[in-house]
Structures are given as structure tokens and as C-alpha cells.
Amino acid sequence: ESLDQGLQKSNQSIFSKLSKAVVGKSKVDDEILDELEEILITSDVGVDTTIKIIQRIEERVARDKYLNTEELDKILREEIIALLEENNSQDFLDFDLPEDKKPYVIMVVGVNGVGKTTTIGKLANLFKSNGKSVILGAADTFRAAAVDQLILWGERVGVPVVSHGMNTDPASVAFDTVKQGKEQGADVIIIDTAGRLHTKVNLMNELSKIKRVMQKFIPDAPHEIMLVLDGSTGQNAFIQAKEFTKATEVTSLAITKLDGTAKGGVVIGISDQFKIPVKYIGVGEKMSDLQIFNRKEFVDSLFS
């Protein structure tokens, strides 16, 4: 399913709400800006980022004296794209695998249920179908289901999975995965980690232990720490981003479940508030339902 279809399904895209708000009006006034503010907040853009966007539009209104409502849509898009640009959300035309980092090590974090395992499976498929060799490490050993699911994804995609089973030491799984990946000359190593947030100290300790063992083989690993967030959970996604960025240095975001929701606004708010680039978006449950984030395409989908 495409992002467009998903966002259109509920007919609540930012654009459709905005079109309703400006009916019968030609000039952008305070009332319209108030409505726009509410639209952005109810689309999960988040209060701080919404205020920032509204202020920028107000500045343009003040500067140009008169802003036609027909132009509001275009200006809003421009401001959102500019925000995403400021937060380094590049248009990844292709996944980026730096040549001097081989194997490229990605550590994946996120709470249970957000689509972490699925995203790892999809990512493995993306790399593999582009001719890269991939190895996965099942270091989310807290839940039996997580280990089993990752093994299943490995079979489905056709990539090896290192696993020691449930309740084993995650760092030891990471150790073996990175060791094997390095020995086999893999292009990409993806390590799944446990998503417990119950105590921040535990999470921090566990993640730093996993990092330390990786660095025995690859001193600058992990090259990427990807946080997976469920785009349909609105404020929860913000809270999780806050907790994980406190516990570890998150360098990229994958935002899932953007197919079944009109709340893609969460992508704008989170990348703005945390200054972390969005790299991938999940648009369905299938292996191919992962898109490399593209600012313009994404913003267009919010408005279509």
C-alpha cells in the first residue's frame, strides 16, 4: 500500500483539513492561522514544532502584507520541507553505505510492538536485493517472540541470523554477530536490541555493553543507531524518542505504520524536536513496504 493511499484513506490529511478551513475565504487572517495551528496539532506535529511553523507563516504574512489562501498550502509545504532540511532529513535516493565502513553496523532500538523486527526484516531485504550481504543478530533476547520472529524474517529474506535463544546475554549475541559478520566480510550487520524502557539505567547499561563488545572487532561501531517509532501512536512516539535519545545516541529514525493513519505529522514534529534525520518509513506489513524517506514525496503525501 502506498503512503498516499494510507493517508487518503481516512480523508484527514493536513491538506483536506486545510481546504475545509479556508472555504469562502480569500485572505489568510488570524482565524485561519488559528485553525491551521489546530490542524497541525491534531495531525501530531507536536505543539513546539507547530508554533514554529505558525510563526514562520505569520512572518511571511507580515512581510507580504497580504497572503492569499490559495497560496497557504504552497507556503506550508515549503516551510515543512525547510524544517525537514534543517534537521538533516536528506532525500536518500539510495541507502547510504559508506565505502570505508565495511561491515556497516546498525544497532536498532525501539520499544516492543513498534515494528522493530519487521523493519529489520524489510531493511535486510532492501540491502540484499541491492546485492549487499547482510547478517542479523537477535539481541532482543528478552522476548521469545522477538528472537523467533527475527529468525523467521531471516529465512524469508534469505540472510543468516545469529541467535542464542531467549534470556541469553544480548551483548554475547552482538559479539558473535559482529565477529561472524567481520569474518565473513558482510556488508551490513544489523543488531536487534531489547526495547524495555522500564528503567532508563538498565537500558543505557545494556546498550552501552552491546556497543562495547562490537568495538572489540570494529572500533567505530555501531555506525548507525536507528530508533524505530510507530507513527500511529502520536504523543507516545515523542515520549519514546525522548527516552531513547537520553539513553543512547540515536542517529537515524525509522517511522512505521504510516500506511494506516493520517497522522504522518509525527514525522515532522519528531525530526524537528530531536534533530535526527528520518531515514525510512514503514508503509505496510510486507517485506517491500519500506520506503527510503524523501522529504518532498513525504510532504506531497501529507497534502494529497
Choose, by CB under 6 A, the member of 46, 115, 222, 265 that binds ligand GDP. 115
* Number of residues engaging ligand GDP in binding (CB under 6 A): 19
Residue type (1 letter), 38: E
Closest residue by Cα to residue 285 from 136, 190, 155, 149: 149
Closest approach of Cβ 193 to ligand GDP, in Å?
Answer: 11
* Residue closer to ligand GDP (CB basis): 102 or 116: 116
Q: How far apart are CA 213 and CA 4, in angstroms?
A: 42
Residues that constitute the known binding site: 110-117, 192-196, 256-259
Instruction: Determine, following the binding rule CB under 6 A, whether residue 284 of this chain makes contact with ligand GDP.
Output: yes
Q: Exactly one of 226, 282, 294, 301 binds ligand GDP (CB under 6 A); which one?
A: 282
Distance, CA of 197 to CA of 73 (rounded, Å): 39
One of 112, 180, 251, 304 touching ligand GDP (CB under 6 A): 112
Question: Minimum distance between the CB of residue 111 and ligand GDP, rounded to whole angstroms?
Answer: 7
Identified binder of ligand GDP from the candidate list 117, 125, 193, 233, rule CB under 6 A: 117
Residue closer to ligand GDP, measured from CB, 44 or 289:
289
CA distance 80 to 295: 9
Alpha carbons 210 and 173: distance in angstroms, whole number: 9
Applying the rule CB under 6 A, the residues between 237 and 256 that interact with ligand GDP are 256
Residue 283 engages ligand GDP in binding (rule: CB under 6 A): yes
Position 144 contacts ligand GDP (CB under 6 A)? no
Work out whether 263 is an interface residue with ligand GDP (CB under 6 A). Answer: no
Other C-beta atoms lying within 10 Å of the C-beta of residue 149 = 19
Going residue by residue from 197 to 236, which x/- string records binding to ligand GDP, judged by CB under 6 A?
Answer: ----------------------------------------
Find the largest Cα–Cα distance for the chain.
67
What ranges in 158-199 are assigned the alpha helix state H?
170-183
Residue 187 CB-half CA count within 13 A: 17
Handedness of CA 94, 112, 181, 276 (dihedral sign): positive
Residue 27 DSSP one-character state: B
Judge contact between 40 and 259, C-beta under 8 A: no
Nearest CB to ligand GDP, comparing residues 142 and 303? 142
Query: Does residue 257 interact with ligand GDP by CB under 6 A?
Result: yes
Kindly tell me which residue out of 50, 69, 118, 294 binds ligand GDP, with binding defined by CB under 6 A.
118
Residue identified by cell 536490541 is: 193
Give min distance, CB of 301 to ligand GDP, in A: 14
Which of these, 46, 9, 16, 3, lies nearest to 303 by C-alpha position?
Answer: 16
- Give me the residues that bind ligand GDP (CB under 6 A), please: 110, 112-118, 146, 149, 256-257, 259-260, 282-285, 289
